[in-house]
Each structure stands twice: as structure tokens, then as C-alpha cells.
Amino acid sequence: MKAWTRLAASILAAVTGLLVTLGGAAAHGPDPLVGSGRWTQDQVLTFKWRSGSVPTSAIQTAIKGAAAAATATRGSQAASYVYDAAGQNLIGYGTGATCGVNGLGCFTRTPPSSFTMWLREQGHVYDWGTLKWCQAYASPPSGCYDAENIALDEFGHIEILDHHVNWSDESDYEDAVVQTLSRTYPYAGWNRHAFGPCDVATLQMEYEVRTWAAKYSTCLALVTTLGLTLGASHSATGGTVTMTATLKVADVSSYVRLALNPLPGRIVTLQRRDRGTLPWTTVGTMSAGATAGTYARSVVVNGSTNFRAVFDTPTDEGLRGVISRIVTIVVD
């Protein structure tokens, strides 16, 4: 590679990393972080009811539902939550809540050892009004809060998530559950019971994806790299050459744990053109290679040929498409 090419590549990588960071900082990126400590990957956090502050049956059901939702939708190796009568962490409900004076619910987190959560009691009177939990009614009244949604927000904080930074028009509100403002019935998002893509994005970066083939949150737009190597650079006419492509997440520091992850299970296509001509034609999809994130395809060559591998930007996950460098097989 010529010096200027290497320089340009270095600048491009630096700029890409900068854009990634700026994109997250401006608005609508992965949730920010609250605190600097993480739980162990896949740590099971058991909880029980705080003595003397046991939630009502309906609120217990809501909190257990939120714990299950947090566990099921974390999309990463973040901590999971399980109710256990002998649990290590306390969740309370009622007048003993240590929340801020205007708080509906609150949390403390001290990873990797413990957390607490509180929800205020139904009917609590604030300066701003009276608390109504939707679970306390057969039919939710206007202005009630869904306890499961609020508890899921608190579980998100406990993981490591801070409030999402929304667009100024809040059009992306439902991309995250961990919000500065939780909505009341009947406004959109009032009863969301799953982490949103921007919650999951941060959990993936901080705790890693569950498998290499798992989908990356659509709140991300991770730069990828695609290498292409030849089994042989020369061939006789009619010879068969095997191409191997390697697809990875780029080495960008702000990707935290996701940097350099191999990307198996994606669609990588091989393209060719006669050496020195312009149009590329698709040879076909490359098969899974010997190791995670590699793809292989054998081709017959009858003349000197250029090849490249292509990974198109997927619509269902947060990866950017990429084209490999061009490699050439010379037919002797």
C-alpha cells in the first residue's frame, strides 16, 4: 500500500470514529451511561420485597413482569433479574421510599454487589398531583402510570443506563424505555414492556452481544471491515481459486466491547470483473468459512480477473455496509 493510501485510511478511520462519537452526543444515540461500574456479564441479580414495604399484589406482578422483560429484551450479556424470596437485593413500595420529593420510583446501584428499587404508594400526594398506578384500577384512568413500565425504566438504570437523549420533537421517544419522562395512559409508550433499541445498543456495547451472529441494535451504525484474501495469486487457465473474506466490526474505541467482533451469519457476496474493465458482476453469495466471521467461495478463472467482496448495509441491524479491497488473480 502506498504511503498516501495508508495516510488516507488512517484519517478516514479517525474521522469515522469521531463521527460515531459526535453522532451519539448530539441526540438519538445509544443511551448515555449512569456511573462507571458494570455487573458481571450475565450476572443473575435476585431480588426480594423489602420487609415492611411489600408491594401490593398487583404491583408485585408488575415488578416481576418488568424483571422478566428486562431479562428477555436486554439483547446482550447484561445482568438478568429474578425474584427470589431469599434474594440479595431489596425492592420496596410505599411511604418509606427514598426517592426524590417528586419521584414516582427510584434506584440505587452498586455493581457488582447490590441494588435497590422503590416505588411510591398508590395515592401518594405530591405538590404536582396524586400518584395513580394503572395496576390499581380495573380500567386504567387517564393520567395513571404503568408500574411495569416504570419498574423496567428502573431496571435499565440499574444495568447502567441513563436517560435517553431524544430528538427535540421527541419523535424517537419509543426508541428507549429509560426516559427522563415516563408517559401516562393513554399516551404512546405508556405501557411499553421491552427495552427499546437505544437501550439495547448501550447494553450491547457495555456487556457484549449474546452470540457473534446476534443482531446489533438498529440504534447503532457500526462501521465494519471486510478483508479478502486469495488462495493463490496466480492460476492456470481453468484453474480453481478459493477466496476468503473476513467481516468484522471496526476497531473503534467508542464501540467498547463490540470493536473487532467477528460477524458470522451475514450475507457477503463475491463480485468479479475482467482485469482492467469497469462493470462488476456478482459471482454469488459466499459460504460460511472455517472460523467465525469468515466467508469462502471457490471460482474457476479463465483469464486475469479482479475480485472483491461486498457486505450490503442490512436493514434489520445496526451495521454499515462495506466493500473489500480489490484482489487480482493473474492467469499465466
- Window 96-115: residues binding another protein (CB under 8 A): 99-100, 102-112
CB of 155: closest distance to another protein in angstroms?
A: 12
| Residue 320 dihedral angles phi and psi, to the nearest 5° | -100, 145
Alpha helix stretches (DSSP H) within 248-319: none
Window 286-305: residues binding another protein (CB under 8 A): 291-294
Pick the piece of the chain touching another protein (CB under 8 A) from 65-73, 150-158, 229-237, 295-303: 150-158
Bridge-based pairing of strands 294-301 and 287-288 is antiparallel
Q: Are 52 and 46 in contact (CB under 8 A)?
A: no
Distance (Å, whole) CA 238 – CA 307: 16
Give 239 or 320: the residue with its C-beta nearer to another protein: 320
Radius of gyration (C-alpha) of the chain in whole angstroms: 26
Amino acid identity for residue 303 in this structure: G
Pick from 87, 143, 239, 265 the residue near another protein by CB under 8 A: 143
451469519: which residue's cell?
A: 265
| 220 forms part of the interface with another protein (CB under 8 A) | yes
| 153 forms part of the interface with another protein (CB under 8 A) | yes
453469495: which residue's cell?
A: 285
CB of 66: closest distance to another protein in angstroms?
A: 13
| 62 forms part of the interface with another protein (CB under 8 A) | no
- DSSP class of residue 126 equals -
Give 226 or 241: the residue with its C-beta nearer to another protein: 226
- DSSP class of residue 254 equals G
Pick the piece of the chain touching another protein (CB under 8 A) from 37-45, 49-57, 60-68, 295-303: 37-45
Pick from 44, 82, 88, 211 the residue near another protein by CB under 8 A: 211
Amino acid identity for residue 177 in this structure: V
| 128 forms part of the interface with another protein (CB under 8 A) | yes
Q: Are 310 and 228 in contact (CB under 8 A)?
A: no
Window 233-292: residues binding another protein (CB under 8 A): 246, 248, 253-262, 291-292
